[in-house]
Structure 1
Amino acid sequence: MKKILVPTDFSEQANIALKAAAGIARKSSAEIILLHIIDLPHEAMDMIQPGYDVPEIMFFKEHAEAKLTQTSLSEELSGLNVSQILKLGRTFDEVTEVAKANNIDLIVMGSHGASGFKELFIGSNTEKVIRTSNIPVLAIKGNETEVNFDKVVFANDFTEETAQGFQKIVDFLKLNGSTPHFLMVNTPNNFKPTHVAEELAHAFLKQFNLDDYEFSIYNDLDIEKGILNFAERVNADLIAMGTHGRKGFARLLNGSISEDLMNHSPRSIITFKL
């Protein structure tokens, strides 16, 4: 991992996300790129022409540049390679565009904050950031001063179509010294006997040379309830999810299911494109 993008609105929640990113950066010697977006309405964007300064916009721009510099010099980032990007535009579009343009390996975001940043992880904006990004997205939730990834619950269907992207999750877990707890959720509409589920999962996991992991089967009414209830039972630090469009297990990130997981989980969530 070489580059971590951290969008910030300078709120408390964004600062918690920054601390999490700093911890990951120290383990991987990665660069942190701080991104602040002055989220302007379309009317204001139409006013901005090359060589033309809008006084109010310039005021916010100069203020944001000063805050970015102050943040980059904070104690949490001491000793790390930190750079800054300031953008004018629409928030969810700019996050994915900046990540793509700068070859980012991981996006770390607070799940809510001030200045409109809350909307990033509510409703269609959540789905747009995740669906349009081939880069893993880590959403930091809660108000703890430190974020741990000791116990990570990753729910999967353990089919071969998820194998290629699965390696990204394994690499992240190893980097952070996490104990992976792989989960298969049995629902009334997609039920597997225990011996079938165990055989399928362990055969799938064998190809990744994992030294230590746990595997559980959890029965619930639907997938998202199963993930949330199981994560609560084992007191997980993080929930990991994979998505690869609209097929198979990718239903997790479609429609109301993804909103339920993002909005109802008190735990941080990381998503990977499979």
Structure 2
Amino acid sequence: MAQCGRCGLIFADPQPIPFDLQDHYGVPPETYWREEYFKVSDGYFQRPIDRFKAIARSGPGMQALDIGAGLGKAMIALERAGFEAHGFEPSVPFYERAIARMGIGKDRLQLGDMEHIEYDHGRFHFITFGAVLEHLYDPSASIGKALQWLAPGGVIHIEVPSSRWLINRIINAAYRVQGLDYVGNISPMHSPFHLYEFGLESFHRNGKVLGYTVALHEYDVCATYMPRALDPLLRWVMGRTGTGMQLSVWLQRDVLAHGPPDRDTPPGS
């Protein structure tokens, strides 16, 4: 495990490499969620959509892309909000259930991964990576590719685990007190494992390389996984200090950005 001293990016070194893509992504959704997860509530994915509308001009004919679409729930929410929603998903079980159970059209959802999927440049007004970027081997190249697909004035929304999460700091301190060389970072207890945890500065620095600006960012407390008696205090502290589990950023391409990104420049470099 390593951490960038400049931007806070945490990453596995060396990176684990599966023998086959489905070793990493081919877990049936039922392994993660109960039956009710296949339902899409009225307010599902509403905050990212609201933030998009606050940042960018919205109107008829907008197209959106969900990267790592899973069961297609965000695509359904985007359609409800007036977008023509498209997506792609690397997991065969998720892709199959998105079509069979969620009613996503095969013309809108592709089976494939970030490295091989292609779309026309400048096509999408809103692109979202929801709990995806931390699983990709080259986050910078992935953001750079998404920037090529982004229409002028469009927005890229990214949700990632924060390297500032207070609970991981508490867990790591407890390990050190016991003399153990363990850490709680990058979800070591369950698959699919995270490859990265991000700091806000990771995106600021990467934006200077790829030609984008962080238009908005938010931290979400999420679950604490700590004893119930400590939960209210921990949630209050994380809410006040920006040390919640999840970091969300909304990116916009710089007006003067030119050319394709350097594929060898990870966030934080």
The TM-score normalised by the length of structure 2 is 0.30
**Structure ranking higher in helix proportion:** 1
- Compare CA radii of gyration and give the structure with the larger one: 1
The TM-score normalised by the length of structure 1 is 0.30
